Amino acid sequence: MGAAVQLQSAVERFVSAPVRKMLIDGKWVEAASGKTFETINPATGQVLARVAEGDKEDIDRAARAARRTFDDGRWARFNPGERQRLLLKIADLIDANGDELAQLETLDNGKPFMESRHVDIPAAAETFRYYAGWVTKIYGETNPSDAAFFNFTLREPVGVCGQIIPWNFPLLMCAWKLAPALACGNTCVLKPAEQTPLTALRLGELLLEAGVPAGVVNIVPGFGPTAGGALVRHPMVDKIAFTGSTEVGKEIHRETASTLKRVSLELGGKSPNIVFSDADMDAAVQGALLGVFFCAGQVCCAGTRLFVEQKTHDEFADKLAKTAAGMKQGPGLDPETRIGPLVSQEQLERVTGYLEVGKKEGAKALIGGERNTAKGLEKGYYVKPTVFTGVRNDMKIAREEIFGPVVSVIPFKDENDAVLQGNDTAYGLAAGVWTRDVSKAHRVARAIRAGTVWVNCYNVFDPSSPFGGYKESGYGRELGRYAVDLYTQVKSVWLQI
């Protein structure tokens, strides 16, 4: 094992507090119940930190603070230029504390430091920077109404936004949620995932340091059914933005039907990554690996159904397996690690359960197919990178989201077959296409029913580019100008002249 990244003293300080408190109305407070929960380091299975456990009462305090701060105009009085500078300052503070945040993220989630330091943390900063640009560019319109009237629109914030995020990209998801919401003038109650609350809480400190007024952002760690459920039901909350499983997304959809809260849902996926025989094979192998082993496969848009044109199928699968076998698995803090542990014991059981199901269904593991209990890894939640062949698109492992380092290689006959099989899924979050034929690339990109299609690349993101799902992958688009639509509403004002 390589030398671990040296932990910063700030990180030691952060995790060793007797209890990491929640942020409500600008103050760090304990849960009303006094309860706490443990967050675990998935590389070791050991307790990493103890965190205040928010519940209904805490959510109520947070929602009231956010409501008051929205309604009393405290936040609205920040003119756009000031709000823009504030968001830029948040971005700068994330960058300035990048090593610390990346270490915390790796400790809490398990992901390789390579990823947290070079992807998650800078992307979080860039998201704040991008939305800082929007603050001064959100316009209403004047409308061509009858000359007896002057009619114009105002683009106003939605109000209090309840934001519930998952554990796979803890800080980045905070940024995707908070940056556009704040740019548009909303106030927020954010609930991080129970598995990974730490970087959200550290971000809370940075928000206060940047000068975000009390009550504008409230951060309440806790569990889904209790804290999350209370947020979804709270009458003072105008909008829910959720990223997570399709199952919980549907529950939120049902729950909010009675109040018609605004809802945006970014849910699961079972994305097809389609490799044609005319593709640059080395690039496609690299892209397929990135598509499925990034963050140990715990990515909603992971390219888990790898469709390979029949005549290249065997050669491609072998190459993929050989290259994957060379990816180093280990603790995220080892700078050479490319695949870390899964986030939790629960995910470990879930993913290994799917591995067994796959084998029973007749899939063959070219590599992996089991937990990794190599020396030094026994206590962590490691699953070996797994390449399955002999998979049919109707098998359970090809239909359900596994959320682990597991890829199913599935052959296809021709373009039409690739599109039919690719679209034969309940999900529609993302897809990949690998070919040198430009026309084919365009045809397939149009034919695939998914919110994002990558051609000759995979997992490419930019704050300006919309992200979200077709079908059961959810609704609403985050990022780009689309998030401005999610976090504003339009008012039409009429004046008689």
Please tell me whether residue 265 binds ligand NAP under the rule CB under 6 A. Answer: no
* Residue, CB closest to ligand NAP: 224
Please tell me whether residue 452 binds Mg ion under the rule CB under 5 A. Answer: no
CB of 195 to Mg ion, least distance (A): 5
Q: Which of 234, 412, 395 is nearest to 306 (CA)?
A: 412
**Count of residues touching ligand NAP (by CB under 6 A):** 27
Question: For this structure, is 457 an active site residue?
Answer: no
Which listed range, 84-92, 94-102, 106-114, 409-417, lies at the site for Mg ion (CB under 5 A)? 106-114
Please tell me whether residue 267 binds ligand NAP under the rule CB under 6 A. Answer: yes
Partner that binds at residue 225, options Mg ion, ligand NAP, none, CB closer than 5 to 8 Å by kind: ligand NAP
Residue 361 vs residues 329, 391, 397: alpha-carbon distances, Å: 27, 8, 9
Please tell me whether residue 40 binds ligand NAP under the rule CB under 6 A. Answer: no
Please tell me whether residue 180 binds ligand NAP under the rule CB under 6 A. Answer: no
Partner that binds at residue 228, options Mg ion, ligand NAP, none, CB closer than 5 to 8 Å by kind: ligand NAP
Please tell me whether residue 298 binds Mg ion under the rule CB under 5 A. Answer: no
Tokens 């007749």 locate to 362
**Neighbour tally for 491: CB within 10 Å:** 11
- Residue 388 phi, psi (nearest 5): -95, 135
Residues 146, 152, 156: CA angle, nearest 5 degrees: 155
Question: For this structure, is 300 an active site residue?
Answer: yes
Q: How far apart are CA 348 and CA 77, in angstroms?
A: 48
Q: Are 125 and 95 in contact (CB under 8 A)?
A: yes
Partner that binds at residue 244, options Mg ion, ligand NAP, none, CB closer than 5 to 8 Å by kind: ligand NAP
Please tell me whether residue 229 binds ligand NAP under the rule CB under 6 A. Answer: yes
Q: In sequence order, which residues have a C-beta less than 8 Å from that of residue 213 and are 6 or more positions away?
A: 26, 69, 74, 75, 78
Which listed range, 9-17, 174-182, 218-226, 278-286, lies at the site for ligand NAP (CB under 6 A)? 218-226
Residue 238 vs residues 156, 157, 188: alpha-carbon distances, Å: 13, 10, 10
53, 100, 105, 266: the catalytic one is 266
Tokens 């399709």 locate to 246
Partner that binds at residue 268, options Mg ion, ligand NAP, none, CB closer than 5 to 8 Å by kind: ligand NAP
Instruction: Give the helix/strand (H/E) hosting 242.
Output: strand 239-243
Q: Which is nearer to ligand NAP, 273 or 312 (CB)?
A: 273
Q: How far apart are CA 342 and CA 311, in angstroms?
A: 34
**Count of residues touching Mg ion (by CB under 5 A):** 4
| Residues from 322 through 341 that contact ligand NAP (CB under 6 A) | none
Q: How far apart are CA 251 and CA 271, in angstroms?
A: 23
161, 184, 300, 301: the catalytic one is 300
Please tell me whether residue 108 binds Mg ion under the rule CB under 5 A. Answer: yes
Q: How far apart are CA 411 and CA 391, in angstroms?
A: 8
Please tell me whether residue 251 binds ligand NAP under the rule CB under 6 A. Answer: yes
Residue 47 vs residues 16, 204, 377, 425: alpha-carbon distances, Å: 10, 22, 16, 38
Q: How far apart are CA 440 and CA 424, in angstroms?
A: 19
Which listed range, 32-40, 177-185, 245-253, 352-360, lies at the site for Mg ion (CB under 5 A)? 32-40
For residue 439, what are its two tokens?
């026309």
Partner that binds at residue 108, options Mg ion, ligand NAP, none, CB closer than 5 to 8 Å by kind: Mg ion
Please tell me whether residue 105 binds Mg ion under the rule CB under 5 A. Answer: no
Q: How far apart are CA 220 and CA 29, in angstroms?
A: 10
In the list 58, 99, 100, 194, the residue contacting ligand NAP (rule: CB under 6 A) is 194
- Residue 109 phi, psi (nearest 5): -95, -30
Q: In sequence order, which residues have a C-beta less than 8 Å from that of residue 447 and are 6 or more positions away?
A: 419, 423
- Residue 82 phi, psi (nearest 5): -70, -40
CB of 207 to ligand NAP, least distance (A): 19
In the list 195, 312, 329, 425, the residue contacting Mg ion (rule: CB under 5 A) is 195
CA atoms in the 13 A half-sphere facing the CB of 54: 34
Q: Which of 322, 419, 305, 336 is nearest to 367 (CA)?
A: 322
CB of 163 to ligand NAP, least distance (A): 10
| Residues from 333 through 392 that contact Mg ion (CB under 5 A) | none
Please tell me whether residue 268 binds ligand NAP under the rule CB under 6 A. Answer: yes
Partner that binds at residue 84, options Mg ion, ligand NAP, none, CB closer than 5 to 8 Å by kind: none
Please tell me whether residue 39 binds Mg ion under the rule CB under 5 A. Answer: yes
- DSSP β-ladder status, 22-24 and 27-29: antiparallel
Please tell me whether residue 300 binds ligand NAP under the rule CB under 6 A. Answer: yes
CB of 163 to Mg ion, least distance (A): 19
Q: How far apart are CA 14 and CA 199, in angstroms?
A: 10
CB of 98 to ligand NAP, least distance (A): 23
Please tell me whether residue 106 binds Mg ion under the rule CB under 5 A. Answer: no
Please tell me whether residue 115 binds ligand NAP under the rule CB under 6 A. Answer: no
Which listed range, 1-9, 36-44, 225-233, 457-465, lies at the site for ligand NAP (CB under 6 A)? 225-233
Q: Which residues pair with 408 in a beta bridge?
A: 305, 388
Residue positions annotated with a catalytic role: 266, 300
Binding site for Mg ion (CB under 5 A): 39-40, 108, 195
Contact positions toward ligand NAP, by CB under 6 A? 164-168, 191, 193-195, 223-225, 228-229, 232, 243-245, 248, 251, 266-268, 300, 350, 401, 403
